[in-house]
Structure 1
Amino acid sequence: MNEPQHYSQLWQWRTPRVQLLLWAGWLALVALFVWCWQVMTQDTIWAFVLDAPAQAADIGSRMVPPRWGYLPELMAPLWDTLNIATLGTLGGVIMAVPVAFLAARNTTPSVALVRPVALFIIVTSRSINSLIWALLLVAVIGPGLLAGIVAIALRSIGFVAKLLYEAIEETDARQIEAIAATGAGRAQVLNYAYLPQLLPAFCGISVFRWDINIRESTILGLVGAGGIGLKLQASLNVLAWPQVTMILLLILGTVVISEWVSARIRRAII
């Protein structure tokens, strides 16, 4: 008597239908990329693109050596840039704290009304680049350091408030309930329950944002908002490439030092 034969089906990670859909998706993605590339490059003059390496080499040769004698003239604009970043960060942090508490689910007075307004403020601040803020403010309040400070502050609100309200929502509810069970008022709960948990995160977020703002404040002068960007724009306008090199080296050094200071402060706090 013949024994029954057992047939084993070959296992596949994806079924033929899924594989076909996957290949169709990749094909559609490639087609979309080709179409987007054609749209973006339809006005491109490829002769200029082919000549770009030679032009870059020519400009690079003119930028060397840097004009070291120009350094003393950059100290005052550099100080203005640091002030723009520092005061702008301070203003942004001050405005971001109440927005963060209004956006957090566990501290907002109204999830249905107040929280969406706070989230809208956060999204608006984060959606508009600091350079655009500066461009608008220069048109409103005129050129100068004030426009740069306010631009940095408005840009910082969304960044600080978003990270801070997420930290508020992650606070340990047991500590808050324990403080509230003693009969403490709202201010006391905030001071003894929320503040100890939020202080390390708040300080780390503030220092991190200050480090970012130093980078952003270096270019605000391109639209008239003060700082070392004014010197950079003036040097570019007259094709003073050795001065441009000196400014770029100074900006690079400033960013490296601010990154080191920011890292040390965050390490000491956290």
Structure 2
Amino acid sequence: MVDASRTFPESWRKRTTRTELLIWAGWLALVALFVFCWQVMTQDTIWMFVADAPSQAADIGSRMVPPRWAYLPDLMAPLWDTINIATLGTLLAVIMAVPVAFLAARNTTPSVRFVRPVAMLVIVASRSINALIWALLLVAIIGPGVPAGIVAIALRSIGFVAKLLYEAIEEIDAQQVEAVTATGASTAQVIDYAIVPQILPAFAGICVFRWDINIRESAVLGLVGAGGLGLKLQDSLNILAWPQVTVIFVLILLTVLVSEWVSARVRHAII
């Protein structure tokens, strides 16, 4: 005789009264938290401006067309600065992120108790501060211009590259490391012949992906004085030159699309 309890296992069971009360209490607390947060966020909101926002958006949109295409030649130099900020910032970040990643990975760090927490702190600190915040600080230290943008992109990218890279290092095949170590290889040789070949595809993909992201971020760093297209965007906004703003938006969009295409092609070639 077939056991019905095994053939048709029980898939539903009525919750107890205590469980239902806890669930309802949780939902009630969530609603109360949402209402409280909404009140905090909107306590200084002028709702008359909010109600007038659609008409204001329509008015600005009508002023943005037709675009002033004659302004396009003036954007070529800032566009080149934007690409340089993203590229050099990514390169500088990669140079600094590689040793941080090896120090953060459990299987390559000299000390899990002391060195790894310091490396993790560097990664978290880099990822927790936005590129615009770094740019604001660096413009005050270095001065306005492209160098501040490059360093801001680099400091922002270290944590991203190092985090993904140390995770790739921790996922390598340990048997290959043991095989190279058994031959009497030094630590540098183990890294060179056992670890680097395994993480190289992931490393290349991470670098290209981060460069693609940095193209987008560097396009707006000029808003705080760090050079690039953002500087022209800020100037156009200050004088309410909306047709010029449209041209800048279109150029940023095309730049991001091209960088996305290049990134996809490179990742496809690597993988």
TM superposition score normalised by structure 2: 0.95
Q: What does 1:50-65 align with in structure 2 at a 5 Å threshold?
A: 50-65=51-66
**How far apart are the structure 2 equivalents of 1:84 and 1:99?**
22
**How far apart are the structure 2 equivalents of 1:164 and 1:233?**
36
**How far apart are the structure 2 equivalents of 1:166 and 1:241?**
45
Q: CA deviation digits over 1:129-182, x for unaligned, max 9? A: 000000000000111100000000000100000000000001100000001101
**How far apart are the structure 2 equivalents of 1:249 and 1:128?**
28
Amino acid in structure 1 at the alignment position of 2:266: I
Shift of 1:30: 0.4
Amino acid in structure 2 at the alignment position of 1:247: I
Q: What does residue 74 of structure 1 align with?
A: 75
What is the DSSP-based 3-state SS (H/G/I as helix, E as strand, rest coil) of the residue aligned with 1:66? coil
Shift of 1:14: 2.1
Q: CA deviation digits over 1:202-231, x for unaligned, max 9? A: 000000000000000001000110001110
What is the DSSP-based 3-state SS (H/G/I as helix, E as strand, rest coil) of the residue aligned with 2:37? helix
Q: What does residue 142 of structure 1 align with?
A: 143
Q: What does 1:156-175 align with in structure 2 at a 5 Å threshold?
A: 156-175=157-176
**How far apart are the structure 2 equivalents of 1:206 and 1:12?**
50
Q: What does 1:8-157 align with in structure 2 at a 5 Å threshold?
A: 12-157=13-158
**How far apart are the structure 1 equivalents of 2:143 and 2:115?**
33
What is the DSSP-based 3-state SS (H/G/I as helix, E as strand, rest coil) of the residue aligned with 2:91? helix
Shift of 1:16: 1.9
**How far apart are the structure 2 equivalents of 1:181 and 1:28?**
59
Shift of 1:50: 0.2
**How far apart are the structure 1 equivalents of 2:206 and 2:17?**
49
Shift of 1:13: 4.0
**How far apart are the structure 2 equivalents of 1:201 and 1:132?**
29
Q: What does residue 177 of structure 1 align with?
A: 178
Q: CA deviation digits over 1:4-35, x for unaligned, max 9? A: xxxxxxx6342221111101100110011011
1:243 aligns with 2:244: yes
Alignment: residue pair count? 260
**How far apart are the structure 2 equivalents of 1:170 and 1:13?**
43
Amino acid in structure 1 at the alignment position of 2:230: G
Q: What does residue 194 of structure 1 align with?
A: 195
Q: What does residue 228 of structure 2 align with?
A: 227
Alignment CA distance shift 1:52-1:266 (3 Å)? same
Structure 1, unaligned stretches of length 5 or more? 1-10
Query: How large is the Cα RMSD of the aligned pairs?
Result: 0.7
Shift of 1:257: 0.8
TM superposition score normalised by structure 1: 0.95
**How far apart are the structure 2 equivalents of 1:133 and 1:54?**
35
Amino acid in structure 1 at the alignment position of 2:204: C
**How far apart are the structure 2 equivalents of 1:89 and 1:13?**
56
Q: What does residue 265 of structure 1 align with?
A: 266
**How far apart are the structure 2 equivalents of 1:16 and 1:50?**
46
Identity %: 80
Shift of 1:232: 0.2
Amino acid in structure 2 at the alignment position of 1:218: A
Q: What does residue 5 of structure 1 align with?
A: none
Shift of 1:71: 0.5
Q: What does residue 9 of structure 2 align with?
A: none
**How far apart are the structure 2 equivalents of 1:14 and 1:257?**
55
